[in-house]
A = this chain, B = another copy of it.
Amino acid sequence: MARRVTLIDVARHAGVSRTTASYVLTGTGRVSTATRERVQASIETLGYVYNEGAASLRRKSRTIGVIVPKIDRPFFGEVLSGVESTFTASGYMALMVATRNRLDQQDRLLRMLREHQVAALVIIPATASDHELVDAIRSWDVPTVFLSRYVRGSTEPYVGSDEVRGGYLAADHLVRAHGCRSITYLGGPTRGIARADRLEGVHRALAESGSEVNLVDLISESTVEAGLRAGHELVGSGLPDGIICHNDSIAMGVARALYDTGRVGATRIIGYDDIVPAKVSVPSLTSVATGGQLLGETAARSVLAVISGAEPAVRSHLAEPRLIVRESCGDHVGGDAATS
C-alpha cells in the first residue's frame, strides 16, 4: 500500500516549498498565479488529499459538537437538519451525539467532544440539566449555544422559541375562540423548564380572558404511546374542554384515543412543534409551530459567527411561535387537510 501523499510531496512535485503549497491550499498568503496553477496541477496528478486532522493540530479544528437528547424524535430531526446543513455549507462538520436524556451520558459525551477538540458546541441539554452543566461548559471555554432548551437560571447564549408565548397562544385560542372552561396541559418532562414556561403562558392567557377556567396539569411521557394511554384515561375520567399537549406526538396519541372511543371532536386538542404528520392526523392537529429547522440554522450560524471572529459572543435569539389552526380544535371539522 502506497504511502499517503502529503503536502511535501506536492511541494516537491511542483518545485516549491511546503509553505507555498500550503498557501495555495488555504488561500492564505500571496502566491503568483503561475505557481498556484502548478501546485494545483500537482495536487491533481498526485491525488493529494488535505489532512484536516494534522491541520487542526495547529489551527482551530473544523468540527463542532452537536448534542441532542434523542436523534430520532421528529422535532430534533428537523433541528439537526438545520444545524447540519448550515455547518457543512461552511466547511464545518458536526459530531452528533445523543444523550438519551441522561445526565451521565451527557457528561461522558461532553468529555469526548472536548477530547476531540471541537471548535464549538451546540447543545439541546438533557431535561434534568442544571448549573453543573453550565459550569462545566463555561470552564471548558468553548463557544456554545444552548438550543431549544435552556438551563434554569442560566443566562448562557440561547436559541429557541418563546415558550411562554407558545403556551399563551394555545390557551388563548382555546379560551377566546372556543370558550373552553376546563383545560388540561398534558405531558412534558416534569422538571422541564419548557413545561413551566408554557404553563406560565397558559396562566397569563387565562388571566387575561377574565373567565373562570379550570386548569389541570397532567404529567406523561412525550410519546405517541403515552398520549394514547393518557387519552383513554381522560375519556374515562371525563374530558376537559380542551387539551394542550406538550408535543405533537402526544397529541396524535390523544387524538387516536378519542377516535377509538368514538369521541372525535368531544374535546379540542392542541399540539406543539407542528411536525409533518400532524397535518394528516385525524383530526389534523392544531399546533404551535416553532420552526425546528430554522432554529437549528440560527443556532449554527450563531456559533459560526463567533468562531470566525465576526461576533464577540454567541447571540441569543428567541423566535416567535405561530399557532397553526387545523381541525383538532374544532374549526375545520369536515374540512380538507390538503388545503391547510
What is A's interface to B at a CB cutoff of 8 Å? 1, 49-54, 56-57, 61, 63, 70-74, 77-78, 80-81, 84-85, 88, 91, 93-98, 100, 109, 112-117, 141, 223-225, 227-229, 232, 249, 252-253, 255-257, 259-260, 276-277, 279-282, 284, 293, 336-338
Instruction: Please name all residues of chain B whose beta carbon is closer than 8 Å to the beta carbon of A71 when the two chains form the complex.
Output: 77, 80-81, 84
Q: Is the CB of B72 within 8 A of A72?
A: no
Q: In the bound complex, what is the Cα–Cα distance between A253 and B115 (angstroms)?
A: 45
Q: What's the least CB distance linking A138 to chain B, in Å?
A: 14
Instruction: Please name all residues of chain B whose beta carbon is closer than 8 Å to the beta carbon of A115 when the two chains form the complex.
Output: 49-52
Instruction: Please name all residues of chain B whose beta carbon is closer than 8 Å to the beta carbon of A337 when the two chains form the complex.
Output: 228, 256, 260
Instruction: Please name all residues of chain B whose beta carbon is closer than 8 Å to the beta carbon of A229 when the two chains form the complex.
Output: 338
Copies in the complex: 2
| Given A224-B280, A228-B280, A260-B337, 17 more pairs with CB closer than 8 A | A49-B115, A53-B53, A63-B116, A71-B84, A72-B77, A72-B78, A72-B81, A72-B293, A77-B77, A85-B100, A88-B97, A93-B116, A223-B276, A249-B277, A256-B280, A256-B284, A281-B281
The residue in A74, A141, A227 that gathers the most chain B C-beta atoms within 10 A of its C-beta is A74
Q: What's the least CB distance linking A10 to chain B, in Å?
A: 14
Q: Is the CB of A276 within 8 A of B224?
A: yes
7 pairs of residues in contact across A and B, judged by CB atoms under 8 Å = A72-B74, A73-B77, A84-B98, A88-B98, A228-B279, A260-B336, A281-B282
Instruction: Please name all residues of chain B whose beta carbon is closer than 8 Å to the beta carbon of A336 when the two chains form the complex.
Output: 260
Instruction: Please name all residues of chain B whose beta carbon is closer than 8 Å to the beta carbon of A80 when the two chains form the complex.
Output: 71-72, 96
Q: Is the CB of B113 within 8 A of A97?
A: no
Q: What's the least CB distance linking A104 to chain B, in Å?
A: 13
Q: Is the CB of A94 within 8 A of B93?
A: no
Taking CB as reference atom, which chain B residue is nearest A139?
A: B47
Taking CB as reference atom, which chain B residue is nearest A261?
A: B336
Instruction: Please name all residues of chain B whose beta carbon is closer than 8 Å to the beta carbon of A281 when the two chains form the complex.
Output: 280-282
The 9 closest A-B pairs by CB, nearest first: A72-B77, A282-B282, A256-B280, A72-B81, A96-B96, A52-B115, A50-B115, A277-B277, A71-B81
Instruction: Please name all residues of chain B whose beta carbon is closer than 8 Å to the beta carbon of A280 when the two chains form the complex.
Output: 224, 227-228, 252-253, 255-256, 281
Q: What's the least CB distance linking A86 to chain B, in Å?
A: 11
Q: In the bound complex, what is the Cα–Cα distance between A56 and B253 (angstroms)?
A: 47
Q: In the bound complex, what is the Cα–Cα distance between A207 and B255 (angstroms)?
A: 41
The residue in A53, A88, A141 that gathers the most chain B C-beta atoms within 10 A of its C-beta is A53
Q: What's the least CB distance linking A275 to chain B, in Å?
A: 9
Taking CB as reference atom, which chain B residue is nearest A284?
A: B256
The residue in A52, A225, A255 that gathers the most chain B C-beta atoms within 10 A of its C-beta is A52
Taking CB as reference atom, which chain B residue is nearest A141?
A: B1
Q: Is the CB of A116 within 8 A of B252?
A: no
Q: What's the least CB distance linking A113 to chain B, in Å?
A: 7
Q: Is the CB of A84 within 8 A of B97?
A: yes
Q: In the bound complex, what is the Cα–Cα distance between A1 and B282 (angstroms)?
A: 58
Q: In the bound complex, what is the Cα–Cα distance between A115 and B49 (angstroms)?
A: 6
Q: What's the least CB distance linking A332 to chain B, in Å?
A: 11
Partner of A95, one of B95, B98, B109, B141: B95
